[in-house]
Chains A and B, each alone.
Chain A
């Protein structure tokens, strides 16, 4: 029930004691009361001012779900899912519901800030901030060249602005969080089939999730499609060291030893090839390197794998046969962060094995298999007379995509955990960080802080005073997503292209600006103003031009479908051969293994130390990275459900004298922390599992400050040799009673 906040206990009693007047009184400020007492009790006002505005959620950044935001009497009230947007199909996750209320969080940055002394910030006007930043940056570029500047940003729809800005300056160093998240997976699919496919989960008959947990690393459409597929009789197998939230609805949980997914997958391939269960015609017509693969895999039968991965050989045989028997309507989920996004030394080849297993049963571009999403190409600024700056011909400072360094790394994602070293060595002198918090989300915070503090100029653009913002020279407040118009976006494209847009719901509450205005303001003093002489509406109108869709129409509907629908049938791959590459000449030319073969993990728990564990981590549905820990409504759920706990296998825990709820001390060679434990039978004995998203140490974030710990506190700075990812599960810790 809803009630007016202004009503006090006393007015209620008075009203209750009164007569027919009561209902009129009880709704306070509203001029016209409800029709009767029942409606008053239901919270139905006769004429509330309710507006419903279509926009795009920014509560995680990855899904950007289509939502309707309700504004009641001028105040943002609630949110509903847009039933037509692909990624959420009418639903909203807990973060999406709670995140809209961040608009009113008192911890928001309310005006531009300048650091005047260590830990001390003072307000500065936008004009002066732009002037001071551009003056400093001009001097840095004059002395060190434009390649000494970087821009790090979580890849939201507005990231093309960051590229444009950096390219206009002459720097190639745009960097996302990718190397801490998913770059091993992306690189492996690029090498195998030319791009990252999507999963046709709802039509699949047999679904395997390898470390992927869409119920907590929320992708609403995926979990919805899995539930629907199961309703139609599909079988769901979850391969995960931890009994994930998706495993709760699975037919089978395979409690694999962490870091050994590759062994399981190689053995599956071995069985499918040896027993001739693959799709011969598909392999012949659409793949290259099958004979090499067959030769490489003979050494990996399930008898070998079972000792490595702790799954009995009978199970491996059975899952391999079942998977192949449903061909092509079976799939191994393309994965995300969990499993092989950026977790282990062998993640790249694990992802290769996943890509190849899908191909070997011929499920590419098949109903119930994998397919390439139909992403429409947006119109460009050039068409409106705004030429793009040239792409700098300098190599990226982090070595992403550079032969001899990290050849398989993504050029556009870069290698974010390289920034501190590059700053300490003087290669990077200045940086911008937008909607990202590397000081908290990158390995070994002490080292990250040392690196970022070495920069001569660090500017953070954000809504909240994150750890990174609190290490910056200038903090520029971006308008909250509900307060701004932003880019037309294609993130919802799957079986059909979809356009969506961030639309302003309410006027900005404070002296904040959208990113375009911030970049435009900076560009003037940097001599690149000619690249930023357009408005957001102009930009969006040009983006929409190829489709004949009006911006007003898109804002009204929240989503517009464009282009053809997906049809079954193989399409040429964007690989060198145009086919799916089991054997990759390109990988061989980079000195990488052209085929997936077993690779030992980088580190292993000490078998003779009963306190030694591998530290793995994962998401909870109520939190995104480090950005939602300070949402009071979500932190309240963390507390209420006692979710800030380290999971530990019950038998292992009892062997070291732990009881459920005990506080433990957890130590690696770089960090130490204290956390409560949850004893469970739902975790492989060799690992402890930590929920990510806690451990906020920015004192400006009052709700989250000091609550819980973060796996990055224990992680060394690593660079996987192929992709340069962080290998975030290669951590050995000692756990003991505090």
Chain B
């Protein structure tokens, strides 16, 4: 996988998740868990499963879910301390030192992407592996996926794969009617 960072202009990070390729192996969940050094019971991402049809005309789909890094994030507007904030590169981040653990953001997130850290009491969630991006590497969930479900990149680079995919008619954003303007695009197929 090539590094996601385009030199020069400021990035606007986004991800595409192609559910038609997902086999539900949970490698992304386990990779995220390690990268972020999470306690055993805490996870930043998850994979949901849906079933369709009747035997033998049956199919199912896996739906990877995590923080959608909304451009209009409800979690940020409800945060009383400014701990949750939107970065200029599109990442919705949490300054855990300012978080008072009130959980308003957890309630406001329509994607159920935020969790409380039981040991320290702050809220945490997917941060698009900003530490890896800082080192010009891909988020942990992207690199480990065996079937290439996830494409990550910079929407400000018109030539990037993610820019082309995000503009295609095939993609949707989950909860678009909520006007959250997510940075994660899905192919549901």
Contact = CB atoms under 8 A, between A and B. Distances in A.
A52 B169 CA distance: 41
B98 interface: yes
Contacts of A223: 23, 25, 146-147
A26 interface: yes
A234 B62 CA distance: 21
Contacts of B16: none
Contact of A98 (B30, B36, B87): B30
Contacts of B24: 215, 245, 248, 621
Interface stretch (B4-12, B118-126, B176-184): B118-126
Contacts of A220: 146
A249 interface: yes
B148 interface: yes
Contact of B25 (A100, A245, A255, A633): A245
B91 to A, nearest CB: 9
B40 A682 contact: no
B43 interface: yes
Q: List the 10 closest pairs (A to B, CB-CB), nearest first.
A: A215-B23, A97-B30, A621-B25, A255-B56, A94-B30, A78-B34, A227-B147, A16-B97, A42-B130, A681-B55
Interface string B138-169: 00100111111000000000000000000000
B29 interface: yes
B98 to A, nearest CB: 5
Instruction: Using C-beta atoms within 8 Å of the partner chain, give the interface range for chain A.
Output: 35 or more
Interface of B: 1, 20-27, 29-31, 33-37, 40-41, 43, 46-47, 49, 51, 53-56, 58-62, 87, 93-100, 119-122, 124, 127, 130-131, 134, 140, 143-148
A384 interface: no
A44 B34 CA distance: 15
Contact of A94 (B29, B35, B55, B119): B29
Contacts of A38: 87, 93
A226 B29 CA distance: 22
Contacts of B127: 1, 41-42
A246 to B, nearest CB: 6
A655 B120 CA distance: 50
B22 A248 contact: yes
A90 B26 contact: no
A96 B26 CA distance: 11
11 contacts: A2-B131, A42-B131, A42-B134, A43-B131, A78-B31, A91-B144, A92-B27, A637-B26, A641-B49, A649-B55, A685-B55
A218 B53 CA distance: 26
B40 A683 contact: no
A22 B97 contact: yes
A617 interface: no
A246 B23 contact: yes
Nearest to A223: B146
Nearest to A95: B30
A1 B96 contact: yes
A96 to B, nearest CB: 8
A301 to B, nearest CB: 22
A681 B31 CA distance: 31
Given A97-B31, A680-B51, 15 more contacts: A12-B122, A42-B93, A43-B130, A43-B131, A91-B145, A94-B26, A216-B25, A218-B146, A224-B147, A248-B22, A248-B23, A249-B20, A621-B24, A621-B26, A681-B54
B26 A243 contact: no
Interface string A28-42: 000000000111111
A165 interface: no
Given A215-B25, A637-B26, A92 B31 contact: yes
A249 B51 contact: no
A9 interface: yes
B107 to A, nearest CB: 21
Contacts of A98: 30, 33-34
- Most central of B51, B59, B93, B146 by chain A CB within 10 Å: B146
A80 B143 contact: yes
B30 A12 contact: no
Given A42-B134, A249-B147, A93 B25 contact: yes
Contacts of B94: 1, 41
A525 B94 CA distance: 62
Contacts of A248: 22-24, 59-62
B164 to A, nearest CB: 15
A224 B30 CA distance: 18
B129 to A, nearest CB: 9
Contact of B33 (A13, A39, A97, A249): A97
Nearest to A682: B58
Contact of A97 (B27, B55, B58, B145): B27
Interface hub of B26, B49, B148 (most chain A Cβ within 10 A):
B26
Contacts of A304: none
Nearest to B135: A44
B41 A78 contact: no
A575 B33 CA distance: 49
A546 B53 CA distance: 57
A246 B62 CA distance: 12
Contacts of B53: 681
A243 B27 contact: no
Specify which of A8, A637, A649 lies most central, judged by the most chain B CB atoms within 10 Å of its CB: A637
A210 to B, nearest CB: 16
A40 to B, nearest CB: 8
A633 B42 CA distance: 10
A95 B134 CA distance: 27
Interface string A642-658: 00000001110000000
A218 B144 CA distance: 13
Contacts of B143: 80-81, 90-91
Most-contacted residue by chain A among B40, B49, B61 (CB, 10 A): B40
A227 B47 CA distance: 19
A620 B186 CA distance: 25
A327 B122 CA distance: 59
B41 A683 contact: no
Given A9-B120, A16-B97, A248-B24, A633 B30 contact: yes
Given A94-B26, A97-B144, A248-B62, A77 B97 contact: no
B175 to A, nearest CB: 22
Nearest to A43: B131
Contacts of B37: 2-3, 77
Given A41-B93, A42-B127, A632-B40, A97 B34 contact: yes
A120 interface: no
A685 B56 CA distance: 10
Contact of A37 (B56, B95, B100): B95
Contacts of B93: 38, 41-42
A636 interface: yes
Interface string A606-647: 000000000000000110000000001110110011000000
Nearest to A680: B51
Interface string A238-273: 000001011011000111000000000000000000
A7 interface: yes
A227 B148 CA distance: 8
Contacts of A641: 26, 47, 49
A26 B95 CA distance: 11
Contacts of A245: 23-25
A140 interface: no
B55 A650 contact: yes
